[in-house]
């Protein structure tokens, strides 16, 4: 399977990313290589392999999330540079 420059250009447009012709060629080649590698992995016989939750012997050692006393809403809001009642006001970052 291959990804042509037109497909890469379409994906870049959807992601609002500008790519020049060199980058389109580079990403087209890289994405094609990735898909070819995935096709190769699909050929492996894994019927006898047990499913894994973790690839290694690592386990989650994070502590349990427990509620603890915190700063009051009023104290947090009074230090805000801009607020609207009980809410922080921030600049719009998404168009």
Domain assignment present for 28: yes
Please tell me the pTM assigned to this model. 0.51
Domain assignment present for 80: no
Tally of domains in the chain: 1
Domain assignment present for 18: yes
pLDDT grade for 85, boundaries at 50, 70 and 90: confident
Q: How far is CA 71 from CA 74, 75, 77, 86, in A?
A: 8, 6, 10, 14
Q: Structural domain of residue 15, as residue ranges?
A: 5-42
16 CB burial (10 A radius; 0-12, 13-18, 19+)? exposed
pLDDT digits (tens, 9 = 90+) for 34-83: 999 999 999 999 888 888 766 777 777 788 888 999 988 888 888 888 88
DSSP label of 30? H
Domain assignment present for 93: no
Domain assignment present for 51: no
pLDDT digits (tens, 9 = 90+) for 5-41: 999 999 999 999 999 999 999 999 999 999 999 999 9
């Amino acid at each position: 399977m291959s990804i042509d420059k037109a497909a890469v250009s379409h994906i870049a447009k959807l992601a609002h990313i500008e790519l020049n012709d060199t980058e389109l060629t580079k990403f087209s080649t890289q994405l094609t290589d990735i898909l070819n590698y995935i096709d190769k992995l699909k050929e492996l016989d894994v019927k006898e392999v047990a499913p894994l939750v973790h690839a290694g012997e690592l386990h989650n050692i994070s502590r349990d999330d427990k509620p603890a006393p915190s700063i009051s809403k009023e104290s947090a809001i009074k230090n805000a540079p801009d607020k609207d009642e009980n809410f922080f006001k921030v600049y719009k970052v998404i168009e």
